[in-house]
């Protein structure tokens, strides 16, 4: 793989992305909303009277898993909700790259620029890797940035215990490992969808398939049925990695010169 050509593809994609206001606003909006929502919720919950969180006396009382009962109802509830929000942060690498990738590839179809591009010495692998990195990297960085920004905000508005649970190993490792896998999974889905669809918005809907299990898991956690630990998250990471590899394999199979030129309509 030629480093200069790979770099040229990534630079061009980012340059094009910077000039596409629709993609840019989509990229910025979701992380900003999520960070604002998390910090806003925690801010008001921290300032509500403790009695509101007691299932016996308050109307916001929730059943806490045994692992959080020792913390007290208020902190336990905030931490349980934050665990829920952490799943939402994982929606950033799952939803944003497919949007960028779909625009990037469907954009090439719309402008008919794929043929002259494929007639240069750039290899199919360099093109696919370049497009994957340029679509996935901003989402990975934005997810990590949202995680860190939220931690910084919690440091000011929440108790040290809430902050400690936010950055506990199960979530730090999840952010470090699952985010890149989800971003690549999302990009590969965008490549596959782009081979059959001509509308980036339709291509984006493909990731709905992956969002459903994530939301389902978050609801199970919210109900207090499962408490996330390192063992469970390691298995989840392995599962995500396996699905990512499978989807990536399919994307590489579809992203062949002849297929692109003769079958992508």
Partner 1 sequence: MIRTEHLTKRFGPLLAVEDLNLHVERGEVFGFLGPNGAGKTTTLRMLAALIAPTSGAAWINDRRVGQDDEAIHASIGLLTETPGLYPRLSAKENLSFFAKLHGVEDIPGQVRKYLTLLELWERRSEPVGGFSKGMQQKLAIARALLHEPPVLFLDEPTSALDPEAARLVRDFIETLKGEGRTIFLCTHNLEEADHLCDRVAVIKQRLIRVDAPDALRQDLYGRSVRVQLREVTPEILAAVRALPFVTAVTEASPGLRVALDEPETYNPVLIQALMTAGAAIQFVERESHSLEQVYLDLLHESEATA
Residues in contact with partner 1 by CB under 8 A are: 4-5, 7-9, 11-12, 15-16, 19-20, 111-123, 257-258, 261-262
For the CB of residue 254, give the shortest distance to partner 1 in the complex, in Å.
15
The Cα–Cα gap between 27 and 141 comes to 11
Q: Where are the alpha helices (DSSP H) in the chain?
A: 3-18, 21-47, 66-69, 73-89, 91-111, 114-118, 124-157, 160-166, 169-173, 179-196, 200-204, 208-222, 230-254, 257-263
Residue 28 or 238: which CB sits closer to partner 1? 28
Residue 24 or 62: which CB sits closer to partner 1? 24
Query: Could you tell me which residues come within 8 angstroms of residue 255 by beta carbon, excluding any fewer than 6 positions away?
Result: 124, 127, 128, 191, 195
Residue of 235, 234, 228 lying closest to 82 (CA atoms): 228
Residue 25 or 262: which CB sits closer to partner 1? 262
Q: Are 179 and 143 in contact (CB under 8 A)?
A: yes
Q: Are 192 and 254 in contact (CB under 8 A)?
A: yes
Q: What are phi and psi of 257, to 5 degrees?
A: -50, -55
For the CB of residue 26, give the shortest distance to partner 1 in the complex, in Å.
16
Residue 216 or 261: which CB sits closer to partner 1? 261
For the CB of residue 139, give the shortest distance to partner 1 in the complex, in Å.
20
Residue 143 or 195: which CB sits closer to partner 1? 195
Q: Are 42 and 78 in contact (CB under 8 A)?
A: yes
For the CB of residue 178, give the shortest distance to partner 1 in the complex, in Å.
33
For the CB of residue 64, give the shortest distance to partner 1 in the complex, in Å.
51
Residue 41 or 256: which CB sits closer to partner 1? 256
| Token output for 237 | 């990471």
For the CB of residue 235, give the shortest distance to partner 1 in the complex, in Å.
42
The Cα–Cα gap between 158 and 7 comes to 42
């Amino acid at each position: 793989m030629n480093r200069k050509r790979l770099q040229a593809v990534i630079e061009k994609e980012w340059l094009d992305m910077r000039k596409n206001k629709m993609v840019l606003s989509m990229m910025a909006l979701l992380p900003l909303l999520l960070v604002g929502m998390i910090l806003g919720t925690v801010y008001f919950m921290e300032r509500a009277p403790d009695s509101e969180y007691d299932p016996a006396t308050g109307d916001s009382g929730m059943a806490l898993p045994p692992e959080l009962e020792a913390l007290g109802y208020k902190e336990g509830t905030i931490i349980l909700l934050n665990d829920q929000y952490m799943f939402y942060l994982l929606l950033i690498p799952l939803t944003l790259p497919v949007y960028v990738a779909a625009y990037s590839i469907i954009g090439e179809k719309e402008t008919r620029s794929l043929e002259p591009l494929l007639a240069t010495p750039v290899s199919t692998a360099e093109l696919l890797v370049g497009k994957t990195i340029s679509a996935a990297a901003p989402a990975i960085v934005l997810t990590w940035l949202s995680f860190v920004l939220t931690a910084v905000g919690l440091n000011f508005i929440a108790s040290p215990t809430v902050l400690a649970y936010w950055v506990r190993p199960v979530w730090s490792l999840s952010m470090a490992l699952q985010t890149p896998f989800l971003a690549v999974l999302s990009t590969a889905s965008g490549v596959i969808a782009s081979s059959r669809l001509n509308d980036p918005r339709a291509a984006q809907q493909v990731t709905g398939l992956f969002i459903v299990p994530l939301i389902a898991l978050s609801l199970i956690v919210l109900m207090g049925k499962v408490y996330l630990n390192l063992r469970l998250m390691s298995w989840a990471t392995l599962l995500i990695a396996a699905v990512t590899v499978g989807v990536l394999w399919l994307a590489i199979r579809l992203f062949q010169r002849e297929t692109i030129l003769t079958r992508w309509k």
